[in-house]
Amino acid sequence: LDRAHSVTLDLHKLGWQPASAGLLAVPEHHHLTPLHHHAPYLNADDDTEAGLPDLLGRSLRTTRRPDALKIAVTLQALGRSGLADLVDRTIATAHHLADLITRTPALDLYDRPTISTVLFRPTGADDHTVATVRRTLLQRGHAVLGRAHAEGRLWLKATLLNPHTTPQDLQTLLDLVTGTTTDLLTGPPAPEAPAAAPTPTP
């Protein structure tokens, strides 16, 4: 970091921030001088002298909402150790999901996760079935899974982001995947035949 001209941070996922929130850091304040552009309709000199706050020089996004404030509040509330704990718990949850997958004969794990993303797929299913399982779960409102191609095959992608996810939540997800796969490959159970009407007595 000490050799970097600038550093940007996107804390959207493992910082639990809005997608539009981000940080730009530079080693010396004067490196931000190009941001102090003069535009009379935004920072007229007489308005500035009169004490009105100008919009330039404060943000790259000028009139848009100050989402960086949310990052500052999060850091102030949780600190380094608090955020680290949330990240560690989320990564541990991803490893637990991988363990559950390896113990489920109907599922294949791509590899041990190194971040909070876990790739897996139903054993023996073709790519069309994998894609259909994903869409079916989404359309039914049961689960939101991503998709990724690796080693020439399509995989379901579970990105763990909630540090409060329980082992039961993970098992429920896998049960939904395996159950949906079974339904797609075997078809829904045939409806039961209606009971025969009783024969009228003469």
> pLDDT digits over 23-35, tens only?
888 999 888 887 7
Identify the pLDDT of residue 195: 60
Residue pair 173/143 in contact (Cβ under 8 Å)? The answer is: yes
Residue pair 141/64 in contact (Cβ under 8 Å)? The answer is: no
Identify the pLDDT of residue 1: 86
What is the pLDDT confidence band of residue 154, given thresholds at 50, 70 and 90? very high
Residue pair 129/135 in contact (Cβ under 8 Å)? The answer is: no
CA distances from 144 to 81, 94, 141, 156, 159 (A): 30, 16, 8, 10, 9
Is domain 84-186 given the CATH code 1.20.120.420 in the classification?
Answer: no
| Residue burial 141-150, b: 16+ Cβ < 10 Å; e: rest | eebebeeeee
* Higher-pLDDT residue of 163, 66: 163
Backbone torsions φ then ψ of 121, nearest 5 degrees? -155, 155
The SS3 call for residue 8 is strand
Identify the pLDDT of residue 177: 98
Domain spans of the chain?
Answer: 7-78, 84-186
Instruction: Please tell me the pTM assigned to this model.
Output: 0.76
